[in-house]
């Protein structure tokens, strides 16, 4: 069943849980809807897939425009075409605890985590489900909880680890150390990996499968410096014949492309919309581009790089050439939906494995992975004489021009490799300070939970 068919039922089901208001006023545990939802296979599937509908139903929420564009502004990828205070604080790395989108980037993931926990609890109690369906749905729910905690811990640092729908516990939960959160993420992903099947439940790549859990494990192991484990997990995905590096870059972001590991289906398609990313960033034939690529990113593409040719576009505005992201081509369409929002894709696994191999000093193998990405982009092989530092720098470069404006990769890469200050202090000397690598804990979250503490630099 497609998300669009489930949209109304999912809104009804999750409205009862008041999940979006988890941080402020979640319902007491005994009022959860989970016992009603998971009475049979059909209702259980509707409940879990309703989380995806909720994630991608509306624009300017965490899982679409915001996670793709706000971290890109904080890094050196993107800027908004005119002065707009809510975005300028990201571009200028001058966030405040009261900043509007700081709060949304916090409350959004936590509301979906609440949904996932409600699903986990409901599935755990359910007795009338087909075992294979119950296993898949439990795996998906655990995957979602891990995926969302991953972004919270990377954007905010130490964060509350929320693993239940218990009102009294959650509203007074202090921040857990990042290491504790990462351990829980890995535990959830390993369990999800064991529960989900290799095939996609409906054929479409809009619900996570085993490969999605494996891909996230590879990323998490990379972020936590577990190089051998990251290489192993990425290799499993790369060996899966379901996925390939598409030679036509213009096909990568199409719905159910062979490069997609997990996508969010376009469900709110009024007016001919496909993805929120395309609707927001792709101008009409006569309008000005709202989101423009930073000149340093444009200059980072090597001559002949097909990613610049196919994934960026330009337009002359007031006599000046401006570049904008063009991974998603469709603003609106009269011929139906052809693009879905990409969340996890195959190319990242080559980049993860290349970095993990380089960190283990397996330099020829690392170069082979980078060259696979470069060859697809129309570029030649890297020099075999590069030392470890040179290969790691090449990894950073390829990640920059491959993953730009996707899910905060550049921002998180600079942060996790301790390169943020070196790069961004030169890019933004007036504004940058090292504590900017973490977002402030939102003021409204601290107001409703006195056990939360603020990050350094925002007191």
Distance CA 356, CA 361 (A): 9
Cβ atoms within 10 A of the Cβ of 172, count? 13
* Tokens (6 digits) for 313: 């576009």
DSSP class per residue in 302-367: PTT-HHHHHHEEEEEETTEEEEEE-SS--SB-SS---B-EEEEEHHHHHHHHHHHHHHTT-HHHHH
**Into which CATH architecture does domain 3-76+87-264+342-448 fall?**
Alpha Horseshoe (1.25)
Q: Is residue 60 scored above 50 in pLDDT?
A: yes
Which of 8-17, 126-135, 163-172, 413-422 has the lowest average pLDDT?
8-17
Q: Report which secondary-structure segment, H or E, holds 170.
A: helix 167-170
What is the mean predicted confidence (pLDDT) over 301-306? 98
Q: Is residue 16 scored above 50 in pLDDT?
A: no
* Tokens (6 digits) for 327: 């991974």
Digit-coded pLDDT (tens) for 379-403:
999 999 999 999 999 999 999 999 9
Distance CA 148, CA 70 (A): 17
- Mean pLDDT of the residues in the chain: 92
Residue 26 burial class via C-beta count within 10 angstroms: exposed 0-12, middle 13-18, buried 19 and up: buried
Digit-coded pLDDT (tens) for 61-97:
999 999 999 999 999 999 999 999 999 999 999 999 9
Q: What is the predicted pLDDT for the residue at 20?
A: 34
Q: What is the predicted pLDDT for the residue at 32?
A: 40
Distance CA 337, CA 273 (A): 8
Residue 357 burial class via C-beta count within 10 angstroms: exposed 0-12, middle 13-18, buried 19 and up: buried
What is the mean predicted confidence (pLDDT) over 30-51? 78
Distance CA 281, CA 284 (A): 10
Q: What is the predicted pLDDT for the residue at 37?
A: 75
Q: Report which secondary-structure segment, H or E, holds 368.
A: helix 363-376
Q: Is residue 19 scored above 50 in pLDDT?
A: no
The candidate with the shortest Cα–Cα distance to 44, out of 125, 117, 123, is 123
Q: Is residue 2 scored above 90 in pLDDT?
A: no
Q: Which residue has the tokens 């897939």?
A: 49
What is the mean predicted confidence (pLDDT) over 155-170? 95
Q: Is residue 17 scored above 70 in pLDDT?
A: no
Q: Which residue has the tokens 């926990």?
A: 117
Digit-coded pLDDT (tens) for 110-155:
999 999 999 999 999 999 999 999 999 999 999 999 999 999 999 9
Separate counts of helices (H) and strands (E) for the chain: 20, 6
Q: Is residue 50 scored above 80 in pLDDT?
A: yes
Q: Which residue has the tokens 């809807």?
A: 33
Digit-coded pLDDT (tens) for 262-286:
999 998 999 999 999 999 999 999 9
363-368 own/partner pairs: CB under 8 Å, 24+ apart: 363/387, 363/388, 363/391, 366/391, 366/395, 367/391, 367/394
Question: Can you give the residue ranges of every domain in the chain?
Answer: 3-76+87-264+342-448
Q: How many CA atoms lie within 13 A of 313 on its CB side?
A: 18
Distance CA 298, CA 83 (A): 21
Contact (Cβ atoms closer than 8 angstroms) between residue 153 and residue 441? no
Contact (Cβ atoms closer than 8 angstroms) between residue 278 and residue 339? yes
* Residue 283 DSSP one-character state: -
Per-residue confidence at 5, pLDDT binned at 50, 70, 90?
very low
Distance CA 355, CA 349 (A): 10
Distance CA 411, CA 365 (A): 26
Distance CA 212, CA 235 (A): 13
- Look up the pTM and report it: 0.93
What is the mean predicted confidence (pLDDT) over 397-412? 98
CA distances from 270 to 273, 332, 337, 340 (A): 6, 9, 11, 15
Per-residue confidence at 36, pLDDT binned at 50, 70, 90?
low
Q: What is the predicted pLDDT for the residue at 190?
A: 98
Per-residue confidence at 290, pLDDT binned at 50, 70, 90?
very high
């Amino acid at each position: 069943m497609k998300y669009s068919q489930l949209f109304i039922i999912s809104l009804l089901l999750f409205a009862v849980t008041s999940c979006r208001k988890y941080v402020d006023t979640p319902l007491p545990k005994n009022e959860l809807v989970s016992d009603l939802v998971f009475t049979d296979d059909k209702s259980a599937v509707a409940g879990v897939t309703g989380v995806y509908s909720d994630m991608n139903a509306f624009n300017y929420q965490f899982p679409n425009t915001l996670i793709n564009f706000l971290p890109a502004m904080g890094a050196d990828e993107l800027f908004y075409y005119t002065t707009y205070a809510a975005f300028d604080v990201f571009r200028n790395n001058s966030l405040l605890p009261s900043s509007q989108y700081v709060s949304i980037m916090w409350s959004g993931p936590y509301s979906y985590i609440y949904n996932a926990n409600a699903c986990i609890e409901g599935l755990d109690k359910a007795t009338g489900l087909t075992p294979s369906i119950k296993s898949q749905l439990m795996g998906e729910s655990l995957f979602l909880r891990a995926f969302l905690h991953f972004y919270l811990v990377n954007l905010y640092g130490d964060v509350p680890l929320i693993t239940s729908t218990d009102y009294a516990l959650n509203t007074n939960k202090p921040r857990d150390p990042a290491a504790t959160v990462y351990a829980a993420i890995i535990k959830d992903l390993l369990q999800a990996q064991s529960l989900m099947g290799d095939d996609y439940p409906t054929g479409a790549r809009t619900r996570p499968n085993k490969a999605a859990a494996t891909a996230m494990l590879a990323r998490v192991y990379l972020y936590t410096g577990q190089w051998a484990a990251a290489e192993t997990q990425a290799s499993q995905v790369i060996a899966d014949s379901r996925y390939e590096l598409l030679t036509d870059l213009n096909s990568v972001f199409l719905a159910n492309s062979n490069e997609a590991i997990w996508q969010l289906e376009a469900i709110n398609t009024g007016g001919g919309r496909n993805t929120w990313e395309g609707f927001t960033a792709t101008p009409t034939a006569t309008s000005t581009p709202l989101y423009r690529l930073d000149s340093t990113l444009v200059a980072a593409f090597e001559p002949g790089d097909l990613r610049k040719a196919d994934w960026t576009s330009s337009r002359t505005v007031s006599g000046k050439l401006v570049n904008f992201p063009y991974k998603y081509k469709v603003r609106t369409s009269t011929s139906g939906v052809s693009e879905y929002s990409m969340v996890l894709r195959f190319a990242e696994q080559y980049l993860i494995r290349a970095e993990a191999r380089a960190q283990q000093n397996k330099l020829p193998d690392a170069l082979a992975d980078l060259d696979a990405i470069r060859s697809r982009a129309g570029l030649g092989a890297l020099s075999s004489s590069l030392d470890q530092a040179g290969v790691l720098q090449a990894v950073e470069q390829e990640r920059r021009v491959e993953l730009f404006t996707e899910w905060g990769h550049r921002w998180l890469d600079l942060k996790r490799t301790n390169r943020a200050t070196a790069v961004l202090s030169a890019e933004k000397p007036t504004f940058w300070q090292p504590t900017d690598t973490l977002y402030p804990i939102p003021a409204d979250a601290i107001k409703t939970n006195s056990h939360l503490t603020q990050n350094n630099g925002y007191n």
